[in-house]
């Protein structure tokens, strides 16, 4: 099994999600959402290719993979011995711009 390694940004975002959900709903709901995100991330150590490949979808490098959990996009990179959790973005954030500098407009 590969070891899961979180970037400081990912840790910060998960904690921000927790605080926002607590403020908007309740501490119990905040704990539920945070646990759902953490448990889904942990499951990557057993099944690392759960997420979709950003290279296959958009042709971007590095080939981050993306999971969608509790209204959030979790970006990770599969390495030899680890799975690097790069960052977490709410579904309303423009992750393509923030991660890759690509703007999509309708």
More confident residue, 97 or 2: 2
| Assigned token pair, 74 | 């979790």
What is the predicted pLDDT for the residue at 104? Answer: 66
Domain ranges of the chain: 3-99
Beta bridge partners of 74: 67, 88
Q: What CATH code is assigned to 3-99?
A: 3.30.2310.20
pLDDT bin (cut points 50, 70, 90) of residue 94 is confident
pLDDT for res 22: 98
Mean of per-residue pLDDT scores for the chain: 92
Burial of residue 21 (number of CB atoms within 10 Å: 0-12, 13-18, 19+): buried
- 62: tokens are 């590095």
What is this structure's pTM? 0.89
Higher pLDDT, 99 or 75: 75
pLDDT in tens, 13-33: 999 999 999 999 999 999 999
């Amino acid at each position: 099994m590969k070891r899961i390694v979180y970037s400081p940004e990912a840790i910060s975002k998960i904690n921000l999600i927790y605080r926002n959900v607590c403020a908007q709903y309740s501490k119990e709901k905040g704990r539920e959402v945070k646990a759902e995100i953490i448990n889904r991330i942990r499951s990557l150590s057993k099944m690392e290719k759960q997420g979709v490949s950003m290279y296959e979808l958009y042709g971007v490098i590095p080939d981050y993979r993306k999971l969608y959990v509790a209204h959030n996009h979790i970006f990770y990179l599969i390495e030899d011995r680890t799975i690097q959790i790069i960052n977490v973005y709410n579904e309303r954030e423009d992750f393509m711009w923030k991660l890759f500098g690509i703007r999509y407009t309708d």
